[in-house]
């Protein structure tokens, strides 16, 4: 028998770890990636960090006047968002460094999902109402929105579940029905919180991952019809929320009440023209557009950076999703492909719903614009998801 102990003593900790992984057969899942990062990796990283930095600038620009008028410092929102950006950077690094295959451990995944489902349930008991939605918890002076972190858990849960059952997608009891339960739980919790925008994102993420894994259209189309009918029934009971969402259908008549925010946002966008008024020179921040620093930050970007700035933001999201899809197509395994696909679908759906709502093309659901809007929970969750996407991109096939 060959004694390898002595030989390994002279090697580094990293080399001994790699050797152990190879001997135990775990190197495929947990091995340290070799080679240089791909082009997709660098593009995703550059877009995310550029969005975060742009978001900090626009949060300051859109919130300073309102903060001063309310007696606060002009810098208060920037300071908070910067803190969340730093925490988000740490979370993104952690999500990138931990091999994504670790999330196939049932115990670790179960703890994550159970914790976040429990936190979202706790919202009904101790939650804070903001803009009509009871979706926040007060933790140490900060408002946390648990549903944002549940998005990350949903992507990881669905990726693990579907990767293990992708050969049985033809059997509804094995794949379709459990995914329906996951959709009902996640979207249902958001609807109970009156966070209808969040429900849209969960439905979009899960439907996209079901399509990626190959569930037949004969199952997927009826599922979408059931969701559409169910959503219509819920909205008929939503009262004021329903009126705000569908005010875009007739902004002229609703511009004084339910459609006020969207109408003012469109005026701000029109004021920006092609090149914009310049950062800090927009009018929307003077209180004409409520929540200009959060849900309606795209209107501030469009006014102050103009059509060119708007196209840069929209193009950035397009490239982010495009490279995310490329990562999914070239992922080393089904699990990685589903994680990359789920995160890409999340960013795509949320960006489309937010921007579409701000410009009055679709219902306004009160969603943040990923990486750009003010909101610590949203920024932290999105940067964590970006770390997962980078994790898969670092291991994608050449």
Are 225 and 346 in the same domain?
Answer: yes
Tell me the residue range of the domain where 23 lies: 1-32
Are 121 and 224 in the same domain?
Answer: yes
Are 86 and 18 in the same domain?
Answer: no
Overall number of domains in the chain: 2
Distance CA 266, CA 157 (A): 39
Are 348 and 304 in the same domain?
Answer: yes
Are 223 and 185 in the same domain?
Answer: yes
pLDDT tens per residue across span 162-197: 999 888 889 989 999 999 999 999 999 998 888 888
pLDDT of residue 353: 94
Q: Quick one: tokens of 137? A: 């918890």
Distance CA 176, CA 210 (A): 8
Distance CA 203, CA 151 (A): 11
Please say whether the beta carbons of 313 and 92 come within 8 A.
Answer: no
Are 219 and 268 in the same domain?
Answer: yes
Please say whether the beta carbons of 385 and 346 come within 8 A.
Answer: yes
Checking if the pLDDT of 327 tops 90, the result is yes
Are 103 and 46 in the same domain?
Answer: yes
pLDDT of residue 238: 63
Are 374 and 234 in the same domain?
Answer: yes
Are 204 and 158 in the same domain?
Answer: yes
Are 8 and 61 in the same domain?
Answer: no
Q: How confident is the model at residue 32 (pLDDT cuts 50, 70, 90)?
A: very low
Distance CA 18, CA 38 (A): 22
Are 9 and 151 in the same domain?
Answer: no
Please say whether the beta carbons of 378 and 370 come within 8 A.
Answer: yes
Select the more confidently predicted residue: 276 or 31: 276
Are 26 and 43 in the same domain?
Answer: no
Please say whether the beta carbons of 157 and 113 come within 8 A.
Answer: yes
Q: How confident is the model at residue 4 (pLDDT cuts 50, 70, 90)?
A: very low
Q: What value does the mean pLDDT take over residues 234-259?
A: 73
Distance CA 225, CA 289 (A): 35
The rounded mean pLDDT for the chain is 86
HSE-CB for 303 with a 13 A CA cutoff: 27
Segments in the chain forming alpha helices (H): 5-9, 13-24, 27-30, 39-69, 76-97, 106-126, 146-165, 176-192, 196-213, 217-236, 240-245, 251-254, 260-272, 297-329, 334-358, 376-394
pLDDT tens per residue across span 337-394: 999 999 999 999 999 999 999 998 888 887 899 999 999 999 999 999 999 999 999 9
């Amino acid at each position: 028998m060959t004694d390898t102990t002595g030989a390994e003593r002279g090697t580094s900790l990293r080399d001994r770890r790699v050797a152990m992984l190879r001997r135990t057969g775990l190197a495929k899942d947990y091995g340290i990636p070799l080679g240089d990062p791909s082009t997709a990796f660098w593009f995703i990283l550059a877009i995310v960090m550029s969005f975060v930095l742009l978001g900090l600038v626009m949060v300051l620009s859109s919130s300073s006047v309102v903060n001063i008028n309310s007696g606060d410092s002009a810098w208060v929102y920037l300071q908070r968002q910067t803190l969340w950006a730093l925490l988000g950077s740490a979370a993104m690094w952690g999500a990138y460094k931990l091999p994504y295959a670790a999330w196939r451990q049932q115990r670790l995944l179960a703890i994550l999902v159970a914790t976040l489902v429990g936190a979202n349930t706790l919202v009904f008991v101790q939650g804070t109402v903001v803009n009509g939605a009871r979706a926040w918890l007060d933790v140490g002076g900060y408002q946390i929105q648990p549903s944002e972190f549940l998005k990350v858990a949903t992507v990881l849960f669905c990726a693990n579940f579907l990767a293990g059952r992708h050969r049985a997608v033809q059997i509804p009891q094995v794949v379709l029905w459990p995914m329906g339960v996951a959709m009902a739980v996640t979207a249902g919790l958001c609807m109970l919180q009156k966070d209808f925008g969040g429900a849209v994102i969960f439905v979009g993420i899960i439907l996209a991952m079901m399509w990626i894994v190959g569930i037949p259209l004969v199952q997927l189309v009826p599922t979408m019809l059931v969701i559409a009918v169910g959503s219509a029934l819920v909205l008929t009971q939503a009262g004021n929320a329903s009126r705000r969402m569908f005010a875009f259908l007739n902004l002229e008549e609703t511009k004084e009440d339910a459609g006020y925010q969207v109408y003012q946002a469109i005026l701000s966008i029109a004021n920006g023209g092609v090149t914009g008024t310049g950062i800090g020179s927009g009018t929307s921040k003077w209180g004409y557009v409520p929540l200009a620093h959060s849900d309606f930050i795209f209107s501030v970007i469009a006014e102050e950076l103009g059509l060119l700035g708007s196209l840069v933001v929209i193009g950035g999201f397009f490239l982010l999703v495009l490279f995310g899809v490329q990562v999914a197509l070239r992922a080393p395994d089904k699990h990685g492909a589903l994680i990359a696909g789920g995160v890409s679908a999340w960013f795509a759906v949320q960006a489309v719903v937010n921007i579409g709502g701000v410009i009055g093309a679709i219902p306004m659901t009160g969603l943040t614009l990923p990486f750009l809007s003010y909101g610590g929970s949203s920024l932290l969750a999105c940067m964590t998801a970006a770390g997962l996407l980078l994790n898969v991109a670092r291991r994608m096939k050449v």
